[in-house]
Amino acid sequence: MKFTLAIDPGGTTGLALRINNDLLTTTVNTDVDLWKYFENGETWPTTVVMEEWQYFNGIVTPAGFHTANLVASVRGICHIRCIPCLLRTPQSRYFRQRAAEEWLKKNKGMKGHEWVVHEADALAHLLTWESGGGTRRR
């Protein structure tokens, strides 16, 4: 099974997967849960699209430290596994943010902020990347 994996890291990390033509969104709560997506060589993602951790006003909170480590660990895994890892700014997802939220409402029956915000953000990153929008960096 080959898939594209979009990651919006945080205390609760949002994931969006494109498997063939299907979309799937979910969340994970620990780095170990996220790393499971890279363990089996038959199911590694073919591409990872991930929001890069942002440094705000020179302050690193415990949650920010966790997020920075999560981003660094995924970058390392991608490097070792030769998986393209495309880092994106938070602003790059805005192009498809509304579409992502509408998809969650329609396909998961979620309204308002019932979904975890990182789940919607991961989907917005995936949809923006698929449409050729936003920044792309390795």
Q: What is the pTM of this model?
A: 0.88
pLDDT above 70 covers what percent of the chain? 88
Residue 74 pLDDT > 90: yes
Average pLDDT over residues 54-78: 83
**pLDDT confidence tier of residue 112, bands split at 50, 70 and 90:** low
Residue ranges of domains in the chain: 3-130
Query: For residue 26, what pLDDT is reported?
Result: 92
> Which pLDDT score is estimated for 81?
93
- Of residues 112 and 33, the one with the higher pLDDT is 33
pLDDT of residue 71: 93
Confidence tier at 46 by pLDDT (50, 70, 90): very high
Cα distance between residue 16 and residue 49, in whole Å: 9
Residue, of 56 and 31, whose pLDDT is higher: 31
Domain 3-130: CATH superfamily, name plus number: Ribonuclease H-like superfamily/Ribonuclease H (3.30.420.10)
> Per-residue DSSP letters for the chain?
--EEEEEE-SSSEEEEEEETTEEEEEEESSHHHHHGGGT-TTS-EEEEEEEPP--BTTB--HHHHHHHHHHHHHHHHHHHHT--EEEE-GGGGGGGHHHHHHHHHHHH---TT-S-HHHHHHHHHHHHHHTT-S--B-
